[in-house]
Structure 1
Amino acid sequence: MKLSILDQAPIPKGSTSTDALQFTKDLAKLGDELGYHRLWMAEHHSATSLSSSAPEVTIAHLAALTNRIRLGTGGVMMMHYSPLKMAEVFKTLSALAPDRIDFGVGRAPGGDHLSIQALAQGRASIPDDQYDKLATTLQLLNDQKTNDPLYNQVIATPHEVKLPEAWLLGSSGNSARQAGKQGVGYSFAQFFNGEMSKEIFDTYRHYFEPSYFMPKPEINVSYAVTVAETKDEAEYLALPIDLSRLFLMRGQMPQTFSPEDAQAYPLTEMDKAILEKNRALHLVGTPKEVSEQLLKEKEEFGFDEVMVNSNQYSFEARLNVYRLLAKELLS
């Protein structure tokens, strides 16, 4: 099974944005050494707890620090950008790091309504079809005429470069058919809402049409994961991440607590009930326990690759999650 990394460059309490991005560099180098298939950077705006707002810039830097691992965006939030600009950025990245770049896009805003307005420079949001925008971008990437006359008089440069893999992100199944019809990979965010199903993936495969970007259907699934040598230690390390989800449900995004502060946080009975319900979105346990669950779900749902997101408070604990999983699944 392919094993990969989804990084959001989290900023734990007491750390800075610069610290977080420096940690990302070390994570990419470790993933490269351990045999992880790819590392994707997310795109989040106006979030003081996350540093990954410009994933295409970060992966350019990471490509210069690594030798083998694929690097991409999980994903570029395409509502904010012109198809021409997206095509030019990823053709440039592909020319600089041939056969190692992934163009991953999503339809979500990656921020609140204020950041959406700011990214649009205060202009009214244009209700364009995101799937049409993706199709136009793919055509520009492939040096083709588009279905939009606005882009038919321009060329996305650099011209005639080997193209990146292309992926469409989803968390509810709504994008499965379009990912298939447009001939791109389908990336499902299981850690968002836990609604993965075989039917979603069967729909994607049924509608899949081979393309330059993806000759056969490919599905990866992103999980939130915490592993440690013992179950008790894993639970201890996992609580700050569980609290972060609880705060997010309240419209808050504070920096991740330390495990000690998380243990001392006063939980109401309702909080405890929500944490228990949300635990289905966070795989916690020993490396063997979690690896067995991942392999079981791969067989049950029929996907090809696991992407691991692990936003531990301690950077060493984050690295150790990836070391332990690699030892179990890649050795």
Structure 2
Amino acid sequence: MIQLSILDQVPIPKNHTASETLHQSVELAQLAEQWGYKRYWFAEHHSTKGLASTAPEIMMAHTAARTKTIRVGSGGVLLPQYSPFKVAETFLQLEALYPGRIDLGVGRSPGGTMKTRLALTDSIKKSMTEFPRQLQDLAYYLSGPLPSDHPYYGIKAAPFVPSPPPVWELGLGENSARQAASLGMGYVFGHFIHPDRGQGAYKAYYSSFIPSPLLKQPAGITAIFVICGESDEHAEELALSQDLWLLSVEKGLDSRIPGLEEARSYSFSQADKEKIKTNRKRMVIGSPQTVKRQLESLAERYRTDEFMVLTNLYSFEERKKSYKRLADVFS
């Protein structure tokens, strides 16, 4: 049985404010809970005017306080920029407030330009090669004592909770999959970024998984763009704004989501059209039955039964309807 979750980058449409977009995210999480979605995760992006989720931990606490059962999480904390100890204590704090509802998703992404990275670390130059060690330390802080030869041996992350929140590594290929498996963590494959490496990543993850105090059985989630329209034609129409938005982001232009009128009137070059064709591999677009068929096929290919969906449309009403149609077709 396929399970559905949401990954929210909190994309800001043109002519809208960050404040109203953030409040819409909370509304969407409340609706997602009613519709049967399993998780609602917030991304972490910095120094961009088009994505309002810069502090997923704050959005998690705010959203968990306004929902009752849906799991809330980060998708994901940019671990290379932070202290594993601080991340562990932040999420233990959340787990103590909302027991059994917190997910800790972490990623290796630098989070922006070198200047942005240095601003995040207050000019401390951190090496991306430290990520495996940081991930291991995070697991130690959450699930048990540090080894006796660790430089911080004796330190314990607090507050103490009966069960730590599960940790999920966000990745794009075999290396991240093996790393997650070796530490007994869940794995989230970013199909919405690099769709061509999913089968290899999941094969590596499932074949090398080692149970841990954090996770007894392997668990995979596929993050993917989905637009579920009334019909295939309607979904294609809605997708125009997402197509243009992705093009703009990749060109380093306006990162806010354009309206449909702007997208309809935009003069796409041949190179743009080729890029859109390539980008479509990162998403599923169509009627409820078309989307259901394609996601079921992908689930079989990837050997995973949970999809974490991104639907970045200009219209909040159309965005809600897409998520509702998707939930209905799998209910």
Percent identity of paired positions between Structure 1 and Structure 2: 38
Q: Give the TM-score of the pair, scaled to structure 1.
A: 0.96
Displacement of 1:125: 2.8
C-alpha separation in 2, matches of 1:155 and 1:229: 52
Contact 2:146 2:155 in 1 (8 A): no
Deviates more, 1:91-100 or 1:194-203: 194-203
- 1:114 corresponds to: 115
- 2:308 corresponds to: 307
Contact 1:191 1:282 in 2 (8 A): yes
- 1:174 corresponds to: 175
CA-to-aligned-CA distance 1:80-126 (integer Å, 9 cap, x gap): 11011011001101111111110110001222222111111123234
User: SS of 2:284's equivalent?
Assistant: strand
CA-to-aligned-CA distance 1:108-162 (integer Å, 9 cap, x gap): 1222222111111123234552111011111111241147733224221112442
Which letter maps to 2:60? Answer: I
Contact 1:171 1:195 in 2 (8 A): no
Displacement of 1:249: 2.1
C-alpha separation in 2, matches of 1:147 and 1:247: 50
User: SS of 2:196's equivalent?
Assistant: coil
User: SS of 1:206's equivalent?
Assistant: helix
Contact 1:136 1:148 in 2 (8 A): no
Deviates more, 1:238-247 or 1:150-159: 150-159
User: SS of 1:211's equivalent?
Assistant: coil
C-alpha separation in 1, matches of 2:125 and 2:35: 46
- 1:238 corresponds to: 239
CA-to-aligned-CA distance 1:43-76 (integer Å, 9 cap, x gap): 0001100000100111111111111111111110
Contact 2:172 2:201 in 1 (8 A): no
Aligned length: 330
Which letter maps to 2:251? Answer: R
Change (3 A) 1:315 1:88: same
1:186 counterpart = 2:200: no
- 2:16 corresponds to: 15
C-alpha separation in 2, matches of 1:125 and 1:213: 27
CA-to-aligned-CA distance 1:201-240 (integer Å, 9 cap, x gap): 1211111111122110000001101111022221111111
Q: Which runs of 5+ in 1 are unaligned?
A: none
1:144 counterpart = 2:177: no
Q: Give the TM-score of the pair, scaled to structure 2.
A: 0.96
C-alpha separation in 1, matches of 2:318 and 2:304: 28
CA-to-aligned-CA distance 1:10-65 (integer Å, 9 cap, x gap): 10001111011101100110111111011111000011000001001111111111
C-alpha separation in 2, matches of 1:279 and 1:76: 27
User: SS of 2:192's equivalent?
Assistant: helix
Q: CA RMSD in A?
A: 1.4
C-alpha separation in 2, matches of 1:148 and 1:306: 40
C-alpha separation in 2, matches of 1:84 and 1:274: 41
Contact 2:95 2:161 in 1 (8 A): no
- 1:221 corresponds to: 222
- 1:68 corresponds to: 69
C-alpha separation in 2, matches of 1:87 and 1:272: 44
1:274 counterpart = 2:278: no
C-alpha separation in 2, matches of 1:117 and 1:199: 33
